[in-house]
Structure 1
């Protein structure tokens, strides 16, 4: 369940501690901002929308900063900044102060994700990167799941004191994670940028940018399928089966925690990553077809089909995430891992903006045929992966070896 002692374990522990606090905050944030701070849902949505735009605009520059100043230094500084910013939410009294802090948080999270990806590339040899990234995703799911359970206590109390205590606890996890990160030692020196290469090379890499614009929204789509579309679908089509939405999320979380590392086997470079990603997209498409069938099934059979679809979905998600990491690590130059992570994050953030309205228009409004349309999106994306990644490999003078 864990890699040997060393950098990998240190990063996993830091990630788990941090995501535990994030899980607790995410569980309580909506009620804290509306019931304790006094913001309306529309004001919260406005602040988050502005913050998302700011974070998306600065994702690549933050990744460049991680490459230029060192991923470890930038990650520690970002964690400290996020600790201060989350604590600052206690003093929020209106929509503009919330929007300002939410924007700082969005930029900080973009920087932390880019720096974290660069840290993985620098902390272990190239052949170990995918496994470490898989361990981190397992830790992420475990931390958020347990944090969500811890966040249920402030919800039960529903007092400002309980929400403030939760914010301070989240702040403490950022500080603790920063302290743990100080123990990481680079596996090898990161090469300097060659003089003949542009600073923001990732933005000029049309093949990789195209991959990010396809795979980023696909990642958002398979995440929102279970957390957003399925619960609403069950509420509209099968009123007695609302618990199935929670059951599907449990299957997804447990599957990611237990099997993400195993899913990285056989992905030894960007070409393999494209094939694994294609396989994952087709598997997730199959889960969409299963969910579309529930519109015309009796209640007892709905239970079987939805739970089966959740199991199929998590298998495809494991393949898709593995393929994504193999492509990012494989196509990024060693001296630009951070900014390539940032460019990919831009594609992911675009997906986060377009996915909820897309799923609403297709699944909630169209019903069973809408699920088939979502399946078609995954099929098209899966078939495009080998071509996009092949384009990226051909544009490099030498095919990039495994993991980097």
Structure 2
């Protein structure tokens, strides 16, 4: 069904194929990263955690500048070279012999990853008409889920075997996936770079409405960590639900995202409608939090039913909020600065991921039902802020047009 409904156009299909290959490698590595670092490289858990934090900070700091690079020299060129570079950088982990060299490799990887992410989103803006950008982004997310699930499944088999040789072979496979993704990008049309314009290079850093959107959207995107981090602890410590409920919820989420994300993106290609979609998604997430709260201390059957019901409400909110977020980010970005705007937008989600585990766990696990209610109220307020925020941004752009003219 998914293949038959892919958007028309050889370029779009090729692009989605690149995303699929790329995310198979990423899914494989995400599942093996910690095990490889601790079991093969013999790093401590603390060293691994610090390294991941440093690399994440590097990627965060360079999201806007590398997006600007894609605007100036061409998104296709930046994607090719950044993904091709990720091949030998991944393979370099086979040669790592001490902690400083490990930090160096993963930090340079973070630079290449940051560049590839901004370029990938700028390529959508450069190759796809405005009204089709969000649908293509939705197909990207669907393909990403399929690819990451396939990679994680392979990783599960390797973890069951538990062989160091197989782990090293997986590193080679990841490197080849990055290299193949970069080379496949050669099949796409060139996206020309934009000439420099008068004024500051990083114009996004002076766009206050957009930066406000990035901040609020990043906080709203914290809900993505609920199922991965908070709910497993909640199930174990606050409910009578069996442990397998955790896996069932994650599987349900993956399947429903694949089935619903494209459909949920309809009508979000324009910032005003996208803001309403983001608000609707936030309300669904609010409802999910309240349902999760009801499972506190419930019996196995009742808790399982409530948790699954909350997971369904959450995924409905997740796909709608994501589509709204993309529509706002594409719609508010100038065509000659899509790379730096999309890179900055991605920073919001990165910051949300950094904050979410500690904050949401403190609320739900530390304060129980009250914590879930506070969380629900927070998501509702963030969603309600999106329409007036977009209206503010569009008013500002209307007043800028005569001055620039």
TM normalised by structure 1 equals 0.95
| CA distance in structure 1 between the partners assigned to 2:198 and 2:180 by the alignment | 40
Cα offset for 1:190?
6.3
Cα offset for 1:398?
7.4
Q: Specify which of 39, 53, 67 is matched with residue 35 of structure 1.
A: 39
Task: Kindly provide the CA deviation profile for residues 179-224 of structure 1, in whole angstroms up to 9, marking residues without a partner as x.
Answer: 21111115x866544x3343111111011011101102321x1211
| CA distance in structure 1 between the partners assigned to 2:358 and 2:60 by the alignment | 18
Farther-moved stretch of structure 1 (200-209 vs 150-159): 150-159
Secondary structure of 2:187's aligned partner: coil
User: In the alignment, is the contact (CA less than 8 A) between 1:211 and 1:385 conserved in 2?
Assistant: yes
1:180-195 alignment to 2 at 5 Å? 180-185=184-189, 192-193=195-196, 195=197
User: In the alignment, is the contact (CA less than 8 A) between 1:277 and 1:382 conserved in 2?
Assistant: yes
Task: Kindly provide the CA deviation profile for residues 156-178 of structure 1, in whole angstroms up to 9, marking residues without a partner as x.
Answer: 12122111100100111111111
1:2-401 alignment to 2 at 5 Å? 2-185=6-189, 192-193=195-196, 195-219=197-221, 221-238=222-239, 240-397=241-398
Task: Kindly provide the CA deviation profile for residues 118-154 of structure 1, in whole angstroms up to 9, marking residues without a partner as x.
Answer: 0111111111111111000000011101110011122
User: In the alignment, is the contact (CA less than 8 A) between 1:252 and 1:310 conserved in 2?
Assistant: yes
Q: 1:97 to 1:191 in 2, by over 3 A?
A: closer
| CA distance in structure 2 between the partners assigned to 1:341 and 1:40 by the alignment | 35
Secondary structure of 1:241's aligned partner: coil
| CA distance in structure 1 between the partners assigned to 2:44 and 2:361 by the alignment | 23
Name structure 1 gaps, 5 residues minimum.
none
Secondary structure of 1:323's aligned partner: helix
Q: CA RMSD in A?
A: 1.6
| CA distance in structure 1 between the partners assigned to 2:400 and 2:270 by the alignment | 9
| CA distance in structure 2 between the partners assigned to 1:191 and 1:82 by the alignment | 25
| CA distance in structure 2 between the partners assigned to 1:398 and 1:126 by the alignment | 22
| CA distance in structure 1 between the partners assigned to 2:179 and 2:400 by the alignment | 40
Cα offset for 1:383?
1.0
Cα offset for 1:275?
0.6
User: In the alignment, is the contact (CA less than 8 A) between 1:36 and 1:159 conserved in 2?
Assistant: no
Farther-moved stretch of structure 1 (238-247 vs 292-301): 238-247
Cα offset for 1:240?
5.0
User: In the alignment, is the contact (CA less than 8 A) between 2:71 and 2:194 conserved in 1?
Assistant: no
TM normalised by structure 2 equals 0.95
Secondary structure of 2:268's aligned partner: coil
Cα offset for 1:55?
1.3
User: In the alignment, is the contact (CA less than 8 A) between 1:280 and 1:320 conserved in 2?
Assistant: yes
| CA distance in structure 1 between the partners assigned to 2:18 and 2:85 by the alignment | 16
User: In the alignment, is the contact (CA less than 8 A) between 2:70 and 2:193 conserved in 1?
Assistant: no
| CA distance in structure 1 between the partners assigned to 2:56 and 2:143 by the alignment | 25
Q: 1:19 to 1:399 in 2, by over 3 A?
A: farther
Farther-moved stretch of structure 1 (351-360 vs 276-285): 351-360
